[in-house]
A and B are shown apart, each in its own frame.
Chain A
Amino acid sequence: GAGVSQSPSNKVTEKGKDVELRCDPISGHTALYWYRQSLGQGLEFLIYFQGNSAPDKSGLPSDRFSAERTGGSVSTLTIQRTQQEDSAVYLCASSLDRGPLSGYTFGSGTRLTVV
């Protein structure tokens, strides 16, 4: 597609439920990133996929968070047993490669509200 697509755009879930957030990157972009942005805060790095390499999971806040990327394209971020502090906007970005002139294109985000 023309841009990074994220779905759903909004998600309200009950505490303790599992949620799945989807990111469809720009076609051909080998790198994909997930970030979390709490209200009024900066972007917190969660996880990064680059090609067929093992993902960099160093930003995942707990083992309730996991992500996968199937076929080098679509990625799903899963949050198990959601907590109220998980409420945030989850942003996905993709880039062509690791080169310095490779821009990052962000999706519009999924706003997650845990009630």
Chain B
Amino acid sequence: AQKITQTQPGMFVQEKEAVTLDCTYDTSDPSYGLFWYKQPSSGEMIFLIYQGSYDQQNATEGRYSLNFQKARKSANLVISASQLGDSAMYFCAMREYNQGGKLIFGQGTELSVKP
């Protein structure tokens, strides 16, 4: 079974609008962390935001926020006020603390921001 599922292979958004990238996860470990990474065409992996399973509030980092719905096992990334530089691949990842420190990644969503 897929641990991390990103159902949107590609997304388009108009510049300055908000966009939500979906991520669902599957784990029986009560202690886990959820991460979002951005990968531009240059290939580098850029950390965006982190949410711990015990965190009471949704994580926010500037224009990025994580809509964490624990009962639904979803951790959607919301990007507000999209910019042309946001065009990239976005990966959701999970670390289960009983499985050590490794991150398990989803297949990614390619976001294109239109001017």
Residues of A within 8 A of B (CB): 31, 33, 35, 41-45, 48, 50, 56, 59, 89, 91, 93, 95, 97-98, 100-104, 106, 108-109
Contact = CB atoms under 8 A, between A and B. Distances in A.
Contacts, number: 55
Interface residues of B, number: 20
Given A33-B101, A43-B93, 9 more contacts: A45-B105, A48-B100, A48-B102, A59-B102, A95-B101, A100-B33, A100-B50, A103-B47, A108-B43
A105 B44 CA distance: 10
A89 B45 CA distance: 12
Contact of B101 (A31, A35, A42, A101): A31
Given A104-B47, A108-B44, A42 B91 contact: yes
B104 interface: yes
6 contacts: A41-B107, A48-B102, A93-B103, A100-B33, A103-B47, A106-B44
Contacts of B104: 45
A61 B96 CA distance: 21
